[in-house]
A and B are shown apart, each in its own frame.
Chain A
């Protein structure tokens, strides 16, 4: 364990609040929504107790939360907000503005299903819907990762070669409300790690006046701006890895774009993200102990999508199952991870069979039995060289 760290038993929202306290952003603007609420409450208490210097704005909606965040970030301040589900949906127009203005806002989003019908439990439909908004999206498996990702997000977002907003994703209730063992770093270690934000451009710099987000006109540079955003995303592959490695030095926990388990000798594998990775890992390890040649990939970065590296990692497999906690409603195209992974494989000569399991919508539990069912079907596909059904709904009442 890193010097000065301490081990605590806290829920996911507290892990995020602790990270925020240590980051100590200039401004936090937020509106409460289950299951994110405790972050707003705990941070308000920290502000009221003078533990941080942040301005805390209890705005009237998420639309205003992101607007205030954009305003503050445009001055060159370090800014955070947090939300969930309907709140993220209400931020929609601002999400694109934050990334278009290249404002390095960091936002934990506690994944929760979108209405209708109203459902407060976990799925990834909220943040997956924002996948084309130009934000970096990092998924967490547990409270520890939510904490670690929040701290790293600041560095990634503010990297001069990136300057993109970052969403840190943690599963509603499963992570946000479960008590977990979390190693908290020393305050000073985190302060040094995130450092001071030195924006290249900011409003109110009297010697270098700028205007932000202007009307681009018919013959403007909109297209070029958008191309630059893509370039920033491309740069982020390297930076996410660098920051993850550097974080390993201060914490003993290194991070990359994804993590692999048993892929060296596996014949088939499961790709999964979020808290389900913990359950899947447990089953994968149990099966491997019995000699079953299964492996797994836990995806951390969904944006940017590490297409090339993922394709490389699975190209040798006979069959791969992709677990998606959301759906695209594209007409049996499967979930977003499946679609993107399938697309990543297109140019390969040799590629595995690919099968999709949509699971856990609206908080439906992913039991060990369901994982085993999928694993058995996967093993059969690997053996026979045939996929019975590409798009499957795991745990659906039919």
Chain B
């Protein structure tokens, strides 16, 4: 029987090794976004804007134009790009520290203005790049380097649910939370990424995909244990689903 190739590296993803730690889901998210860019044939007109975090080296992997943004400011930088280059596809790629902490106001106002950009949000419940400090998405009780005995709502508040928070804004056309911890979930995530870019291509407004991701290094868990943690604990605080999917433009 002849063998058929059913899976290849997306063209938009350069053929070099990721710097990510073993079991990190940043790489999976990178691949899904590149697949979607290939699917729509938009590579030549897509510009990526990573925030500061472990995704900051996006320019090494994505075979497209990339502009770095200061920590948290990617949605504002993206706004500048999109207003001047409305025919281009502009996405940001931000962690939970970048988007949910320091850049909270940028993402809310960009969403509220209904900027026709796509925000990919990597929620791994810590500041990965700086060594695992508490993020706004850190689970209650989760140990981090700044909450050594677990996050306590009395002093550190509660995990922020970005997808639910942004969805009600009028400017938001699409908001979903997906996870990358099982093949089934990756398939669903792929659909969400496709839809988010579809929304932008159709000029329907702001689109947002939140990925639940593992950070084995800073969680102090093996990749397998991370998957169990996502399945067992993270999904409790961060329910998966499509929180908004506008149909008309």
Q: Which residues of A contact B (CB under 8 A)?
A: 31-34, 37, 40-41, 44-45, 48-49, 56-58, 60-62, 86, 90, 115-116, 118
Contact = CB atoms under 8 A, between A and B. Distances in A.
A61 B148 contact: no
Contacts of A45: 145, 148
B56 interface: yes
A48 B101 contact: no
Contacts of A33: 130
A41 B133 contact: yes
Nearest to A48: B148
Contacts of B131: 32, 37, 41
A32 B102 contact: no
B22 interface: no
A96 to B, nearest CB: 20
Contacts of B71: 86
A86 B145 CA distance: 21
Interface string B101-128: 1101000000000000000000000010
Contacts of B155: 56-57
**Interface size range of chain B in the complex:** 20 to 34
A37 to B, nearest CB: 5
B134 interface: yes
Interface string B62-106: 000000101110000000000000000000000000001110100
Contacts of A37: 130-131, 133
A116 B149 CA distance: 37
Given A115-B70, A118-B68, A31 B102 contact: yes
Nearest to B134: A58
A34 B133 CA distance: 12
A115 B146 CA distance: 26
A205 to B, nearest CB: 26
B171 interface: no
A59 to B, nearest CB: 8
A60 B101 contact: yes
| Secondary structure class of chain B's binding surface, majority of residues | loop
A113 to B, nearest CB: 14
26 contacts: A31-B102, A32-B127, A32-B130, A32-B131, A32-B133, A32-B146, A33-B130, A34-B130, A37-B131, A41-B131, A41-B133, A44-B148, A48-B148, A48-B149, A58-B134, A60-B101, A60-B102, A60-B104, A60-B136, A61-B72, A61-B101, A61-B102, A115-B68, A115-B70, A116-B68, A118-B56
A-B residue pairs, 4 tightest by C-beta: A60-B101, A61-B102, A44-B146, A41-B145
B130 A44 contact: no
A325 B146 CA distance: 32
A37 B126 CA distance: 14
A126 B156 CA distance: 29
A62 B100 CA distance: 14
Contact of B147 (A44, A60, A62): A44
Nearest to A45: B148
Nearest to A115: B70
A35 to B, nearest CB: 10
Contacts of A116: 68
Contacts of A49: 148
A57 B146 CA distance: 10
Given A32-B127, A41-B131, A48 B104 contact: no
A116 B100 CA distance: 23
Contacts of A57: 155
B157 to A, nearest CB: 9
Contacts of B72: 61
A62 B97 CA distance: 13
Contacts of A31: 101-102
A62 B146 CA distance: 16
A32 B131 CA distance: 9
Nearest to A41: B145
A118 B58 CA distance: 14
Nearest to A36: B130
Nearest to A30: B146
A121 B86 CA distance: 37
A86 B69 CA distance: 12
A255 to B, nearest CB: 32
Contacts of B68: 115-116, 118
Contacts of B130: 32-34, 37
Given A31-B102, A61-B72, A118-B56, A48 B147 contact: yes
Of A40, A44, A58, chain B has the most CB atoms within 10 Å of the CB of: A58
